Amino acid sequence: MSAQGAEPQPNYLTAGQSVRSWLLTIDHKRIGLLYMVSITLFFFLGGAAATLVRLELMTPKGDVVQPETYNKLFTAHGVIMVFFFLIPSIPAVLGNFLVPLMIGARDLAFPKLNLASWYVFMIGGVFTLWAVLTGGVDTGWTFYTPYSSMFSNTSVMSAALGVFIVGFSSILTGLNFIVTIHKMRAPGMTWLRLPLFIWAMYATSLIMILGTPVLAVTVALVGLERFFGFGIFDPKLGGDPILFQHLFWFYSHPAVYIMLLPSFGVINEIVPCFTKRPVFGYRTMATAMMAIAALGFLVWGHHMFVSGQSMYGGLIFSFLSFFVAIPSAVKVFNWTATLYKGTVSGTTPMLYALGFIGLFTIGGLTGLMLASLAIDVHVHDTYFVVAHFHYIMVGGAVMGYLGGIHFWWPKITGRMYPEIWGKLAALTIFIGFNLTFFPQFILGYLGMPRRYYEYDAEYQVLNVMSTAGASILAVGFLLPLVYLILSLWMGKEAGPNPWGAKGLEWEIPSPPTVHNFDEPPVAPERPYDYPLKEQDREPS
């Protein structure tokens, strides 16, 4: 194969330096990086909106922004973070980069479609940014009708169009992953030898392709109602607003798992590597992720306990929601069992993984509280809900994303990040996050409603704590931005496998060559082929 072995092959970063070679690339690794740059931009935009929200909430009276502006700020924060950061985050960045590498393929099944998905993403992003710049949107990220379709005087149309368009980008990504995982695996890479990250991507992709079209058509109906004044969801004109909520949450609840399952996948890779043990319960891990994807489609009604859906509907949705806890708990127990008596090292990715396990557990357990009808009536639309889903989305999804970025940074760039700064940032984020959001559980339980820009003076102490935590969190998020970029020049050479990790992606140079594998890869006999310890062999 490598007859002229003396000449070093260009890697995917050095093969072609022009702007054109990046913007027209069909290399899955470069497309992953295009996504990384784009979503980082959106992340800090959404973060800026959150910063202003937290500043406003430092005092009980409205003093930083106008009430209308406040509505637009939390809407911008929600729309940008959900649709333009969390949903694409791990799948579009790490998934694009890793799926072909992990299964031993040269690229995704449809490379041009992959590039198209990035362009669709950017077009959707432009529409949404346009909406934010031309006056903003004040409906909340949920676009509830009839407010969004009949009453709001803000740029609902362009924001909705942006969300509609960006949906197709995630459909294309999901479709590409499903076909790639089915058809492009290297010889010997059977389903039960796949890294669990691949299982996570597969489960996520299923949700993307089955859920996203429903959101698209729902948003289209809202657009029709708003543009032509038909009464599809407006009760005054004979429509049914609850139907909108059903359709919206039919996508948007599974979307939570689009954000979370990829993080499960990342944690599944990090934990075995830094305990140097095979992951505990491989099959139950894979089954649990598929079960979460399937059950996730049956629980949307738990967002609507107080909306006027039938009481029996509420009962069934509550019951089914408890079922999701079973596969989720299986995963937490399996991670714990993997850690047990392992050689746990405290490197940066592992700190994120450990943080994830703890924060996800809190987020999951408070989710069970919210799935209970009686408690939900009490805390519905309060800060308890806000705290709960931030534990899942920041404590879960963002921690997983950052852990994954650090874990595969040497593979992506060929450089190590500064470990000491990495640890410092991970700790800062963990502390800042908890200080921001734990007080919100208490605030919500005491009755502070979400989405209000003023509040009773008795809530101030906890709100100040939350705002203080948010500033620590902001520092924590800015740190990686700085040291990761600097590491591109200053980081030491990583070599193919700095962590001693198992998996096909670690057997090739860092950064990989354009065609990924110079020799046809051979799948290992079992995934997570770390040496078995004495206690793994026989029960003592």
Partner 1 sequence: MSLAEAEPTHGYLASHFETLEQQHQSAALGMWTFLATEVMFFGGLFLGFSVYRFVDPEPFAIASRHLNVTLGTINTFVLLTSSLTMALVVRAGQTGDRKAQVRNLLLTMALATLFLGIKAREYYEEFEHHLAPGASFSTAALHLPEDAPESLGQQAQLFFVFYFFMTGLHGFHMLIGIAVMAVLVVKAQRGQYTAEHYTQLEMTGLYWHFVDLVWVFLFPLLYLVELHT
Choose which of 53, 80, 120, 247 interacts with partner 1 (CB under 8 A). Answer: 247
Decide if residue 240 touches partner 1 (CB under 8 A). yes
For residue 343, the one-letter residue type is T
What CA–CA distances, in Å, run from 145 to 82, 122, 239, 385, 456?
Answer: 19, 27, 10, 21, 29
Choose which of 228, 374, 457, 534 interacts with partner 1 (CB under 8 A). Answer: 228
Q: What is the DSSP letter of 482?
A: H
Decide if residue 232 touches partner 1 (CB under 8 A). yes
Interacting residues with partner 1 between 80 and 139 (CB under 8 A)? 105-111
User: Among the candidate windows 148-156, 211-219, 329-337, 384-392, which touches partner 1 by CB under 8 A?
Assistant: 211-219
What is the 3-class SS of 274-294, one letter each residue?
HHCCCCCCHHHHHHHHHHHHH
- Residue 91 burial (CB count, 10 A): 26
**Residues 419 and 347: beta-carbon distance below 8 Å:** yes
For residue 229, the one-letter residue type is G
Tell me the angle at which helices 311-339 and 241-275 cross, rounded to the nearest 10 degrees: 10
- Residue 186 burial (CB count, 10 A): 18
Choose which of 16, 62, 135, 213 interacts with partner 1 (CB under 8 A). Answer: 213
What CA–CA distances, in Å, run from 277 to 172, 262, 274, 337, 338?
Answer: 35, 21, 8, 10, 7
What CA–CA distances, in Å, run from 8 to 103, 227, 506?
Answer: 25, 59, 19
User: Among the candidate windows 47-55, 116-124, 189-197, 227-235, which touches partner 1 by CB under 8 A?
Assistant: 227-235
Name the one residue in this structure whose structure tokens are 């919210």. Answer: 370
CA dist 53 and 64 (Å) reads 9
Nearer to partner 1, 103 or 392 (CB): 103
Choose which of 36, 115, 159, 214 interacts with partner 1 (CB under 8 A). Answer: 214
Site string for partner 1, 146-185 (x = CB under 8 A): -------------------------x---xx-xxx-xxx-
Nearer to partner 1, 178 or 325 (CB): 178
Min dist. Cβ of residue 217 to partner 1 (A): 4
Nearer to partner 1, 26 or 464 (CB): 26
Min dist. Cβ of residue 122 to partner 1 (A): 21
Decide if residue 293 touches partner 1 (CB under 8 A). no
Nearer to partner 1, 179 or 329 (CB): 179
What CA–CA distances, in Å, run from 67 to 46, 447, 451, 517?
Answer: 19, 20, 10, 56
Decide if residue 209 touches partner 1 (CB under 8 A). yes
The residue ranges that bind partner 1 (CB under 8 A) are 105-111, 171, 175-176, 178-180, 182-184, 209-214, 216-218, 221, 224, 228-232, 237-240, 243, 247, 515
